[in-house]
Each structure stands twice: as C-alpha cells, then as structure tokens.
Amino acid sequence: MTQDDPLLTVENLHTSFHTDDGTVNAVDGVDFTVRRGETVCLVGESGSGKTVACESITQLFKRPPGEITAGSIVFDGIELTNCSERELTDIRGARISHVFQNPQNALNPVYTIGWQLLEAIELHQDVSRAAARAEAVELLDRVGISEASDRLEAYPHELSGGMKQRVMIAMALACQPDLLIADEPTTALDVTIQAQILRLLKDLQAEYGIGILFVTHDLGVVAEIADRVVVLYAGKVMERGTVYDVFETPCHPYTRALLDCLPGRGSLGGIPGSLPDPMAPPAGCRFHDRCPDAVPDCSTGDQPAFESVVGEDHEVSCLHYRTAAEPTVLESGVEPRRPSERTDGGDTHD
C-alpha cells in the first residue's frame, strides 16, 4: 500500500433500519474515500445520513434494526463488511477511533479522567502502570490540557465542555489510530472553543498522519478543516470534490443552497422545505422538490449518474448543472472565501 492509496474506500454503501413502520434506507448508495493524512468532510442537513454513513464503517449501530444491505468498506486492505463482531471490536479499539458530539455521554461520570485514559492506554498497549501514566500525562498535554498530571484526578463534571472534548480526543489517540471518525465533535461547543478544537485536530493530523472523516452540517467548519468534501442529501451523494473546488465552483443546486446559508451570505432561514420522507424518497433527484433549478426530467428515474466537472475528482449528480450552475453562481455574488480566511463559525441552517 502506497501513501496515495486510500486508507478507507467506501463503495455503493447501503445501510437500512428495519422499523415497525417500514424500512429506512438511511444511506442509499454512497461512495467516498479517505487517504492517509487527509480530512474528508461529510456535510448535509440533519437526517441526510452522515452519522449512519460513519457508523457503518465499524458498524457501531445496533444490528438489528440497522443493517448494511449492500456495498463495500475497505480499510487498509480489510473488507470491513465481512468482519466478525470480534474483529470489528478489535479494529474499533486499535485502528479506527471515534469522537462524538457529546463528550458527556462518552465519559463515565464515576471515574476520574486519569482512570479512563489509563484504561484506554492499557487496553491497546502492553505497558507498565507507570509508563501508561506517563503517556496519559503526555496525551493530555498534547491535546492542550495544562497541569496534566493534576487533571488526571479530575472527574468529568469538573471539566468544561471543551476540556471534556479534549480528553475524548486524547482517548481516541491512545490507540494511535490510522483513522479518526469525528461526528460533529465541536457542535456542542462555543465558537472560540470550536476553533481551538479544529486547530488541535489539524495539528494532531499533521503530527501523526491520521486520516480524518469529519461530519458536520456547517460549511464554515468544512472550510476550516476539510481537504475534500462529500455533500450528502437524503442518503445520496449530491456532489464531491476538493474543498476548494466545491466552494469555488459549487455545481449541485443543493451545495449552492447550503453555501448560501453561511453567515453573511443572504439565506437566513435555511433552505426552504424539508428532507423527503426517508421511507418513501421521491423518484429522480432527491432534491428536486426543493430545487430552484428543477425541470420535469429531474423528478423521473434514478438519482442522476455522476458527471465529472472541472477540478480534481470533482463530481456532481445533477442533470442540468451546466445550464443552471453558471448563471446562478455568477449572479448570486457569492464569493467563496479561501479556507484560511474563515475565522467565524456558528450554525448555518438547522
């Protein structure tokens, strides 16, 4: 495996939930890759399938009701969809780490953070208590927690939300993962702390060469940290490409609608309308009934096949992006900022 081979390749992923009311096809034929050392963002409104796509990788959801019904997930040469529960548990602990939105729920309130961190370290490494303790201190120090050796004695409730998220990141790093999956890790934090945590992730990535799969509904956050972006809507990929291409030349009307929701860009109340019923998605493009550019052809057949557009691996699933995209982008006056120019954060639309 060379440096350029994807660390993670997800192809044609279908993940469903079988409920009393019917089957929800939460992820309905999704492809993306994550290379070593890069950050890929999954972005889309609430309910678009971002979390389910992430949880499919190591099958974190309950099975049943959840089930991967088709597709392939290859991590460093291993087909994860063929792995046993035991093999998945090993991979989850040792090579793929998760960081979640609410560190509260992930930390055990009755143990000190030192105890929890030592547990994580000792689970993955055959080291003495003293060595594990030294590593715990080093990890806390590395994630920006000052007076780390004193903090080991603290209980989760004694730490702020940002601190708790730093502890979670330290725990996620304890196994020296190749892939970090971070699902809205900063959404619960205020904007300043959010920016600090994003910077921390970028620094750690540069240091350890970790691939990061990052979930957010906030394109402001995407601009800060992504190398590449995958735009999801109702379980399908609408557009994907480098962050620069997607921001500079957004081709899918959905991507443009999301970009218009960035602070200062005009669209205040979010995108009009709502996601389709996940049990009965419409024919044609899933976005057609909310799309300002839709034509009758958009509501028949399947989600349009991907077409390549200008840029590196830039692809869009839209029948008429050429005719629709250019005038809209030019006339809207949207001036995509370079990622480095963004300092504000905050919610966009939901």
* Residue, CB closest to Ni ion: 51
In the shown chain, the binding pattern of residues 31 to 50 toward ligand ATP, with x for contact by CB under 6 A and - for none, equals -------------x-xxxxx
What token pair was written down for 109?
Answer: 């309130």
Q: Burial, 341: exposed, middle or buried (Cβ in 10 Å; 0-12, 13-18, 19+)?
A: exposed
- Closest to 24 (Cα-Cα) out of 234, 180, 200, 202: 234
Place of tokens 């799309």: 291
CB of 66 to ligand ATP, least distance (A): 6
* Residue 219 in the binding site for ligand ATP (CB under 6 A): no
The footprint of ligand ATP on residues 199-218 (CB under 6 A) is 217
The footprint of ligand ATP on residues 55-84 (CB under 6 A) is 65
* Residue 255 in the binding site for ligand ATP (CB under 6 A): no
Residue 52 or 225 with smaller CB distance to ligand ATP: 52
The footprint of Ni ion on residues 12-71 (CB under 5 A) is 50-51
For 135-174, b where at least 16 C-beta lie within 10 A, e where not — what string? bbbebbebbbbeebeebbebebeebeebbbbbbbbbbbbb
* Residue 51 in the binding site for ligand ATP (CB under 6 A): yes
Residue pair 216/245 in contact (Cβ under 8 Å)? The answer is no
Residue pair 320/295 in contact (Cβ under 8 Å)? The answer is yes
In the shown chain, the binding pattern of residues 234 to 273 toward Ni ion, with x for contact by CB under 5 A and - for none, equals ----------------------------------------
Question: Which residue in 13, 40, 41, 52 binds ligand ATP (CB under 6 A)?
Answer: 52
CB of 278 to ligand ATP, least distance (A): 4
Residue 241: name its binding partner from Ni ion, ligand ATP, none (Cβ under 5 to 8 Å by kind). none
Positions touching Ni ion (CB under 5 A) are: 50-51
Per CB under 6 A, residues contacting ligand ATP are 17, 19, 24, 26, 44, 46-52, 65, 217, 278
